Structure 1
Amino acid sequence: MSRYQRQSMLPEIGDAGQRVLLNARVLVVGAGGLGSALLPLLAGAGVGYLRIYDGDRVEEHNLHRQTLYGMEHTGELKVDCARQALNARNPDCKVDTQPQALGASMMAEALNGIDLAIDAADNFAVTYSLSDACLPRRIPLVSASVLGRQGYVGGFCGSAPGYRAVFPQLPASAANCNSGGVMGPAVATLGALQAQMALSILLGFTPSPLGCLINCDFTRWHFRQFRFDGADEPDRPSVPFIDRHLLVSNDCIVELRSQQEAPESIADRVHRVQPEEIYDWQPPADRRIVLVCASGIRAAKAAMVLEQRGFTQLAIIAANR
């Protein structure tokens, strides 16, 4: 306990709280910039089990914000480097690494035995899928996103509404760190807030971070928060994100990317339909329509058009997520 002395001195933690953290099982999706900040804080605080999903490798141009890694790790799997770093920091923390991106077909396995999930992928296809999986299981979800010098962090699911209650529609664009740029300290701040929220939820602090969203704007130097405890879930089933492993033989797969953008689609037999053609395209009435694009943006817009036309058997695949 000497390791956690300064933390367990807090009356709201104590020895009992430290045992809670030791027995906690946390899923972390993403070991990039957000993960680089939050993972050492969770391991350092004494969280006993971390399950990490990430299929990427360390790249030099990401090191300005992915501070868990160094130049010597370039080309190595992030999860392998993260496990080594966390084991060196705290051998009491068991680190279970999965060197793959978390897809919709893996959710049940990823969430098995998990007390709390953290979305550090900063990818809205992952966020919606993770929230959709956590909500019926009543597993708390801490999600964050950051771009440029601003971002947000929030506590969803568990005893709070899900992500779709606050963000019922996908964003208008697919801008991300690779396309829009980001500053490392902004990412680290949001990652640290995720860690603080996660520990507060595990320890049962009040008021709970669940049902709270914090906007951080470093262009204007202000933090704003609001609570969404009473937000209503969508009044009709949302179009789910799936992956290719959830396709069935009878699906009608609609490829919204051009032949030039995607010479090979996710399957051999697909319908090539440009987004502007979806208004006039006549889909089959008795089959599920699976809309495919790079990020999910075009597919979500096409799904809205088809819903308005009365088609309800829909799903989305973000092929490049």
Structure 2
Amino acid sequence: MSRYARQICLAGVGPEGQARLGAARVLVVGAGGLGATLLPQLVGAGVGFIRLLDPDLVEESNLHRQTLFRMSDLGQPKAQIAADTLTGLNPDVTLEAHVARLTPANLPHWSRDVDLIVDAADSFATSYALSDHCHQSGQPLISASVTGRQGYVGGFCGGAPSLRAVFPDLPDVMGSCSETGVMGPVVANISALQAQMVLAVLLGQDPSPLGQFLSVDLMGWRVNGFRFDSAPEPSRASPAVLALEQITPDDLVIDLRDTPDVVPTPAPGQRVVLVCASGLRAWRAARGFAETSEAHVAIVGVGT
């Protein structure tokens, strides 16, 4: 137990808490920038089982913030490289790496036997899919997002309101890291807070980070937070997030990658599925359908 001596001595941890961490099972979605700080902290703390999903390969543009990787790792799967490196940090932790993309269709399979889910993918479509799943399953979700010099982290579901209760709609403008840039220290700050939230939930600490939201702005040097324990779920359902394989023959599919000349009208009761690359354009189009009809609308981001 000498490995964990400096955290076992803390109030609220002790040998019993350390045993809880050792028995915990966590799904981490994403081994990139957020994962670079998050994963070593969870592994170092002795979280017993971590299932890691990431479909991407290491690129040179990742290295300024994804510090788990080296130049010699270029072109290699992030999930496997991360797992190999982290096993060297703490061989007591079981790391199950999958070079796979999480989708709403396969999410029940990957999350079937875990106590908590960590959203480190930094993709809005993935975040909403994870939140929808956790809202139904009761599993806690610790989700984070970063762009530029700012970001947020929050504890959702597991008895707390979902991500949709805090963000019922998306902003009109959303920038990705490739579009707006990102600073590595900001990512590390957010993901360190994310790791602390995960450990606090697994240890059952009070107050719980479930229902807590933190935002960090390192352009203006501000850290803000609020509780959202009583936030209501949206009264009007925002669009569900689907995988391509969840589209049925009865759906009215509108592929926004090929702008249709005439937007078809759904039949009564027919589900409208809007498809685009990231899901963002589909989300915005779904808002238009919601304002003009009673159609049930879903979105698919084929690149998320």
Q: If the TM-score is normalised by the length of the shorter chain, which range does it land in?
A: over 0.9
Counterpart Cα distance in 1 of 2:269 and 2:189: 49
Amino acid in the other structure paired with 1:12: G
Q: In structure 2, which of residues 260, 268, 282 is the aligned counterpart of residue 273 of structure 1?
A: 260
Counterpart Cα distance in 2 of 1:214 and 1:309: 35
Gaps of 5+ in 1: 259-271
3-state SS in 2 of match to 1:43: helix
The aligned counterpart of 2:283 is: 300
Q: Does 1:40 align with 2:28?
A: no
The aligned counterpart of 2:9 is: 9
Q: Deviations over 1:134-163 (max 9, x none)?
A: 011111111111111111111110121000
The aligned counterpart of 2:107 is: 107
Amino acid in the other structure paired with 1:297: L
Counterpart Cα distance in 2 of 1:24 and 1:297: 34
CA contact (8 A) 2:169 2:238 kept: no
Matches within 5 A, 1:247-262: 247-258=247-258
Q: Does 1:282 align with 2:294?
A: no
Q: In structure 1, which of residues 308, 314, 318 is the aligned counterpart of residue 297 of structure 2?
A: 314
Amino acid in the other structure paired with 1:39: L
The aligned counterpart of 1:207 is: 207
Amino acid in the other structure paired with 2:45: A
Counterpart Cα distance in 1 of 2:246 and 2:266: 20
Between 1:174-183 and 1:309-318, the stretch displaced more is 309-318
Counterpart Cα distance in 1 of 2:231 and 2:296: 26
Counterpart Cα distance in 2 of 1:311 and 1:299: 17
Amino acid in the other structure paired with 2:31: A
Report deviation, 1:228: 0.6
3-state SS in 1 of match to 2:240: coil
CA contact (8 A) 1:118 1:141 kept: yes
Report deviation, 1:293: 1.2
Counterpart Cα distance in 1 of 2:113 and 2:60: 35
CA contact (8 A) 1:26 1:50 kept: yes
The aligned counterpart of 1:182 is: 182
Matches within 5 A, 1:56-205: 56-205=56-205
Amino acid in the other structure paired with 2:132: D
Counterpart Cα distance in 1 of 2:294 and 2:300: 17
3-state SS in 1 of match to 2:109: helix
3-state SS in 1 of match to 2:151: strand
Counterpart Cα distance in 2 of 1:227 and 1:81: 37
Q: Deviations over 1:164-219 (max 9, x none)?
A: 00000023234111111000010011111100000011101111111111110101
Between 1:5-14 and 1:171-180, the stretch displaced more is 171-180
Counterpart Cα distance in 1 of 2:58 and 2:158: 33
Amino acid in the other structure paired with 1:315: A
The CA RMSD measured in Å over matched residues stands at: 1.3
Report deviation, 1:319: 1.7
Between the aligned residues of both structures, percent identity stands at 48
Amino acid in the other structure paired with 1:311: E
TM-score normalised by the chain length of structure 2:
0.97
3-state SS in 1 of match to 2:241: coil
Amino acid in the other structure paired with 1:136: Q
Report deviation, 1:286: 4.6
Counting matched residue pairs gives 304
Q: Deviations over 1:19-46 (max 9, x none)?
A: 0000000110000000011001000000
3-state SS in 1 of match to 2:47: coil
CA contact (8 A) 1:172 1:297 kept: no
The aligned counterpart of 1:231 is: 231
Counterpart Cα distance in 2 of 1:174 and 1:285: 33
CA contact (8 A) 1:173 1:297 kept: no
Report deviation, 1:283: 3.0
3-state SS in 2 of match to 1:21: helix
Counterpart Cα distance in 2 of 1:166 and 1:66: 28
Counterpart Cα distance in 1 of 2:162 and 2:128: 9
Amino acid in the other structure paired with 2:163: Y
Counterpart Cα distance in 1 of 2:284 and 2:222: 33
Report deviation, 1:86: 1.1
CA contact (8 A) 2:65 2:184 kept: yes
Counterpart Cα distance in 2 of 1:320 and 1:89: 33
Amino acid in the other structure paired with 2:205: F
TM-score normalised by the chain length of structure 1:
0.92
Counterpart Cα distance in 2 of 1:282 and 1:84: 52
Q: Does 1:53 align with 2:53?
A: yes
Counterpart Cα distance in 1 of 2:260 and 2:133: 30
Counterpart Cα distance in 1 of 2:227 and 2:11: 26
